[in-house]
Chains A and B, each alone.
Chain A
Amino acid sequence: MNITTLVFILLSVMAVGSALMMIASKSPVHSVLWLIVVFFAISGHYILLNAQFLAIVNIIVYAGAIMVLFLFVVMLMNLNADTEPIKNYRLQLIGVISGGTLLLIILSAVMKIDVEQMVEMKTGDAGLIKSLGFNLFKNYVLPFEISSVLFLSAMIGAVIIGKKDEITHEG
C-alpha cells in the first residue's frame, strides 16, 4: 500500500464519518461544524487529484462563506438541541432503510462494470489555474457572464425575501 492509497482512505473515512456525524448530531451548530470537516476532507481529495484551484475555491467559498452564512442563520434563530423537532422513529427507520437500499443497489450495479480506468493522481495540469482559466475564458465565456446575472438576481431576491414587508399582513 503506497502513500497515495493511504491518504485516499484516510480522507474518505474522514469525509464519510463526518457526514454521518452531521446527520446524527442533535444540535444544528454541531451539524454545521461537522459539515465543514466534510468540506475540508473533500478539499483534501481535490489536492490529491491535483485540482488545486477547486481545492482552494472549495475552502474559500464553501467552508469560508456558505457555512459561515449557515452558522449566522443558526445562531440568529437561537436553535439548539432543545428546540429540535419531535422525532418519528418509524419514519427515520424507513428513511435509513430506503437510503441504504439505494446505496446497495447502485453500488453493486456500478461495481459490476468491468472497466479498469485509472485516475491520474498528484500530477497533470488539468486542474491548474492556467489551463482552467484558458478554458473558462475561451470556451465558457457566455456562462461565466450569465452567472453574474444569476448572482445579481439571487442578491436582489435574498434582499426582497428577507426584508420585513407589510404587504403580506394585508393580503
Chain B
Amino acid sequence: MDIKAYIALSLTLFTIGIVGVLVRRNAIIIFMCIELMLNAVNLLLVGFSKMHALSPAAKASPYFASDAQIFVFFIMVVAAAEVSVGLAIIVMMYRNVHTVDVNFLNRLKN
C-alpha cells in the first residue's frame, strides 16, 4: 500500500473532525470530534512508522521504526488525561448553566 493512501485517509478523518468542531454546537460532540482528530494523527504516525520500517536506516538500528508507535502511545496517554479533565469541566458547566450549547458560553464571566 502506498503511503499516500494513508495520508489521504488521515487527512479526510482530520477534516471531518474540523468540520464537526465548526458545525456542531453541542460541547460533548465537539469534544468527540477532537478525539477523532487525535485518532487521525495516530493513524498517520503508525503509517509513517511502517513506511520507515522498509528504509535502510531501519536495518541499522532496531528501534528506528517503533519510535513513532511510542509517540502514538503517549498521545493516547495524554488523550485519556485530557478526556477526564474535559468531561469534568463539561459536567460542571452543565450543572451551572443547564445546557451544553457552546453559544451560551461566549463570555468567561457570568
Do A22 and B84 touch (CB < 8 A)? no
Interface readout for B12-55 with A: 1 if CB under 8 Å, 0 if not?
Answer: 11011111101111101101110110010011001101110110
Chain B interface, >50% SS class: helix
Do A157 and B15 touch (CB < 8 A)? no
Interface readout for A28-64 with B: 1 if CB under 8 Å, 0 if not?
Answer: 1001100100110010011001110110011001100
Chain B contributes a number of interface residues (CB within 8 A of A) equal to 74
Chain A interface, >50% SS class: helix
Do A12 and B83 touch (CB < 8 A)? no
Minimum CB–CB distance from B70 to chain A (whole Å) comes to 5
Interface readout for A93-119 with B: 1 if CB under 8 Å, 0 if not?
Answer: 011101110110011001101011111
Do B83 and A126 touch (CB < 8 A)? no
Number of A-B contacts (CB under 8 A): 239
Do A118 and B3 touch (CB < 8 A)? yes
> Which residues does chain B contribute within 8 Å of A138, judged by CB atoms?
63
> Which residues does chain B contribute within 8 Å of A15, judged by CB atoms?
9, 13
Minimum CB–CB distance from A154 to chain B (whole Å) comes to 4
Question: Which A positions have Cβ atoms within 8 angstroms of B?
Answer: 4-5, 8, 12, 15-16, 19-20, 22-23, 28, 31-32, 35, 38-39, 42, 45-46, 49-51, 53-54, 57-58, 61-62, 65-66, 69-70, 73-74, 76-77, 79, 83-87, 91-92, 94-96, 98-100, 102-103, 106-107, 110-111, 113, 115-121, 124, 126-127, 131-132, 134-136, 138-140, 143, 147, 150-151, 153-155, 157-159, 161-162, 164
Known: A54-B73, A119-B3. 5 other contacts (CB 8 A): A38-B13, A91-B22, A139-B67, A140-B74, A157-B88
